[in-house]
Amino acid sequence: MSERTPLPAAAPVERLAPRLARLTGFRLGASLVPALLLAKVAHWGPPRLEYISLRDFVRDVFASAAADLAFAAGFGAIATALLVLLRRWPRAGRVAEWALLAVGAFAALYAVASIQIFSFLRSPLTYPLLYLAGDMQSMRSSIGAFVTPGLALALLAAPATYVWMATTTWPRLRLARPLAVALALAWIVLGSRYADGRWKDRADHLIARSPHWAFLASLPEALDATGPSLDEAFDPDDLTDFRPTEPRGGFDPGSRRRPRNVILVVLESTGAKYLSLYGSRYPTTPNLGAEARHALVFDNVYAHVGLTANSLVSMMLSIYPYMTWREYTVEYPRFPGETLAQLLKQRGYRTAFLESAYLEYVNQDGFLADRGFDRLEDWDDLGDGPPVNSWGGHDRALVDRALSYADEDRDTPFFAVLWTAQSHHPYDPVPGQPEIDFFREERPEDWWDLGRYLNTVADVDRQLGRLFAGLRERGLDQDTVVMVTGDHGQAFGDPHPTWGHGFRVYQENVHVPLMIWSPALFPEGRRVPTIGGHVDVSPTLADLLGVKPSPTWQGRSLFHPSRPPRAYFYAVNDDYLLGVREGRFKYVYNATRGSDELFDLVADPDEQRNVAAENPELVRRLRRRVAAWRHHAAEHLEGARVVN
């Protein structure tokens, strides 16, 4: 391309236009390198001035930036080819120059943004993740929590610097370009080999992917969300776990009267790990702990997936969701099946679904419509003031509404679902609520977010204490059963380097609380080791009431004498992970990599030692179990798609 001199009195855009004629593919690609490289350097942070820290820093940058250099080289090569092809068509060439400059500037900005995304998700942004974050109206509080002044400045500086570098004449050094190309190629080849070697065994190995290529490579999933195939043969009897439940129940009240009223409380983003009810060292749930004296506490209950929408569907319809990152409430809002609300409605019950968040998030209101609930109320209906954040409001209003709903008609039994909101990221405290310092002297790695989260969990526990007290004051404790569970877990880097939810199936991700409170039925509380999942919620409540379960339900009452001693769960936002808990063992099959993990949760509750190699027969049997689950779920989903 020929050199041109900028016009001195031109406007900013006009001054830039002549510079585009000096663009070369090499400069367009090379100008990306500083942003890509500095983003990875920022991720690893400044090392300590000591040999081991400096060595690890250089090693990690070397491994993690190789794919970024390859992306910059590829972009430069494509730009070179395009500019050469369009030399005969000046107008088309000018459009291409502007387009390439814009793409490069966006790529520089994206490199900076992706590091902040990775810091929380521990995964590059992919199409499935963008899909899950599609409701920006609700997501804006969580996104805003990551946008610091420093990040905002970097987001502005990266594309501006890129444009300046790409459009500025570089000094002509005879050997500079071939030397830079040779060094870059050496880094790409050696760094990639190192990243694919022992370095890839790290939990944060995905930082070595180019975030740009990771997103582009995930776009085909927009058309196909089926995931990797699992061709493992299984016994037809393995499908028994997923067949509709038997009509008979397993709960025997004896001489005690069955309850009339049912309240299902679902705690948002709340697993068992950070509840003192389940042995957490943080005193987050004193009220639940006190009420456990009149309840059954189940120690081994699981969310089938770390997605709120699919957990909602599993609990309401008692079905195992297919292993997909897509949300059933969005893709299949008319998924066939009966809810407990529909069954109880036929028996004369009042029914309500009350949530302190917003029901339009991922079309929950669309899914719940015509599912047997007389009322669907969210923060817009419950709120007694401004919301806490874009997700919704405080759970005090939720409990107040539940108690007023119970008072409306004391002669008619009721079924109410209460879905909390406070413990959702970004864990904003309720204004005026004193903050508890749960750490004092010893602060964990993610102490800021974890501390805020623990405070929201503690406040939700206070509101549950008000709920139980309110039922007692009204004399409803003797004929009301309250089930408390969580929609999924929430991870904070302990004991595994995973954060948030939906990415892994470790205990902190999928192990959820389940407590059934009824002073009349359980005057002396006890712990229950039965293994179960969200699919068992509706059958268990129906069993307590003496109601025949729906023939569409795949779960079984937790009191059922012949229920399988297993629970199934999956994660698909990164690798496709299919898992099953059976007895003391927990098995996870990584369908993306074809690898097995097996943990003995009795001897190793923190899942630190993979004993798959020591138990080959057990691994093969449990792999057949998850293969049967995948086969069943695929057939079930395919049959239901006709309805939607």
Closest CA to 406 of 415, 397, 394: 415
- 262-267: average pLDDT: 98
Instruction: Judge whether 599 and 585 are in contact, CB under 8 Å.
Output: yes
State the virtual CA torsion across 305, 307, 311, 312 in degrees, nearest 10.
-170
Residue 207: per-residue pLDDT: 86
DSSP result, 518-531 = -TTT-SS-EEEEEE
Pick the most confident of 123-137, 339-353, 435-449, 588-602: 339-353
Q: Report the distance separating Cα 126 and Cα 74, nearest Å.
A: 20
DSSP 8-class letter at 574? S
Q: Read off the tokens for 418.
A: 């209460």
Closest CA to 303 of 570, 81, 629: 570
Helices and strands, number each (H, E), in the chain: 22, 14
Q: Read off the tokens for 449.
A: 């977010």
Residues 236-641, CATH architecture: 3-Layer(aba) Sandwich (3.40)
Residue 227: per-residue pLDDT: 67
Residue 410: per-residue pLDDT: 92
Alpha-carbon distances of 88 from 1, 19, 94, rounded to whole Å:
12, 19, 11
Query: For residue 387, what pLDDT band results from cuts at 50, 70 and 90?
Result: confident
- 396-409: average pLDDT: 96
Report the first-to-last Cα separation within the chain, whole angstroms.
56
Q: Report the distance separating Cα 348 and Cα 352, nearest Å.
A: 13
Closest CA to 373 of 291, 226, 262, 242: 262
Peptide bond preceding 12 in cis form (omega within 30 of 0): no
* 585-590 β-sheet, strand order: 566-571, 577-582, 585-590, 595-600
Phi, psi of 5 (to 5 degrees): -95, 125
Q: What is the Cα gyration radius of the chain?
A: 28
Instruction: Judge whether 112 and 35 are in contact, CB under 8 Å.
Output: yes
Query: For residue 612, what pLDDT band results from cuts at 50, 70 and 90?
Result: very high
Residue 126: per-residue pLDDT: 76
Closest CA to 518 of 547, 483, 467, 559: 483
Residue 622: per-residue pLDDT: 96
Peptide bond preceding 495 in cis form (omega within 30 of 0): yes
- 207-219: average pLDDT: 85
User: Angle, to 10 degrees, between the axis of helix 33-44 and the axis of helix 90-121?
Assistant: 0
Within 10 angstroms of residue 333's Cβ, the number of other Cβ atoms is: 20
pLDDT of 12 > 60? The answer is no
Query: For residue 1, what pLDDT band results from cuts at 50, 70 and 90?
Result: very low
Top pLDDT among 69 and 502 is at 69
Residue 3: per-residue pLDDT: 43
Q: Read off the tokens for 296.
A: 């059954």
Q: Report the residue count for the chain.
A: 644
Q: Report the distance separating Cα 466 and Cα 586, nearest Å.
A: 37
493 Rama class: left (phi>0) / alpha (psi -120 to 50) / beta: left
Instruction: Judge whether 327 and 362 are in contact, CB under 8 Å.
Output: yes
Residue 133: per-residue pLDDT: 61
Closest CA to 449 of 107, 28, 119: 119
Closest CA to 481 of 531, 425, 414: 414
- Give the contacts of 638 (CB within 8 A, at least 6 positions apart): none
- 571-585: average pLDDT: 90
In the numeric block, the tokens 């990584």 are attached to 590
Average predicted confidence (pLDDT) for the chain:
88
Q: Report the distance separating Cα 138 and Cα 135, nearest Å.
A: 6
Q: Report the distance separating Cα 435 and Cα 516, nearest Å.
A: 29
Instruction: Judge whether 405 and 352 are in contact, CB under 8 Å.
Output: yes
Give the rounded distance of the alpha carbon of 195 from its chain centre: 26
What are the domain boundaries of the chain?
12-222, 236-641
Residue 389: per-residue pLDDT: 84
DSSP 3-state assignment of 448?
helix
Query: For residue 139, what pLDDT band results from cuts at 50, 70 and 90?
Result: low
Q: Report the distance separating Cα 71 and Cα 90, nearest Å.
A: 27
Closest CA to 619 of 593, 591, 639, 595: 595
